[in-house]
Amino acid sequence: MAHLLGHPGCMQSLRADLQDLQAAISDVSSRAGTARFPSWKFPDKVSCELDLAALLEQYSYDQNNPEFSQHSHVVLLELVVDR
Note the pLDDT of residue 2. 56
pTM confidence score: 0.84
Note the pLDDT of residue 53. 93
Task: Name residues of the chain where pLDDT drops below 70.
Answer: 1-3
Contacts 24+ apart (CB under 8 A), 44-52: 47/82, 47/83, 50/82, 52/18, 52/19, 52/22, 52/79
Q: How many domains does the chain have?
A: 1
The boundaries of the domain holding residue 44 are 2-82
